Amino acid sequence: MVKSLCLNFDIIMLQEHWLLTNNLSKLDNIDSNFQCCSISAMDNKAASGILVGRPFGGVAVLWRKSLSNRIKIVCSDDIDGRYISLKLCNSAARDIVMTCVYFPCITTRNDYVVAVVQLSDILRTCYLCMPAIII
């Protein structure tokens, strides 16, 4: 499916790719016209022993190589693999900041609220530290 998205779009954001770090190169090889920045959410789980249950999380952003000189990775979650933010520098107009976020499915409402508040605070801090105008 991602291969077909590459035919029609310049920037593609993926959530829940389920890949371990040592398999992220699979995303780099989807289309030779695209570059990729990706992170895994499975590394901590894999480090704790034998993988049991269904995989989860991980985010990736693919962009057409013709945009490479205008794309800057702003911040990413290298611990839990939940977000990647990038800035598309646009000389004719305002820069555009895009964030690919994986919001996990948590069983209790309180756990979900805590997770969302933590993610929101991290991303807000990330944006506040940027000199770009966010639209």
Q: What is the pLDDT of residues 24-59, one digit of tens each?
A: 889 989 999 999 999 887 666 666 666 666 656 789
Domain CATH for 59: 3.60.10.10
In this structure, are strands 83-88 and 71-76 parallel, antiparallel, or unpaired? antiparallel
The whole domain housing 113 covers 2-128
pLDDT band at 9 (very low <50, low <70, confident <90, very high): very high
13 lies in some domain: yes
With pLDDT > 90 as the criterion, what percentage of the chain qualifies?
A: 27
58 lies in some domain: yes
79 lies in some domain: yes
Looking at the 3D structure of the chain, how many domains does it have?
Answer: 1
Instruction: Evaluate whether 61 touches 12 at the Cβ level (below 8 Å).
Output: yes
DSSP 69: G
134 lies in some domain: no
135 lies in some domain: no
- 66 versus 18: the higher-pLDDT residue is 66
pLDDT in tens, 87-114: 998 877 788 888 898 877 766 788 888 8
133 lies in some domain: no
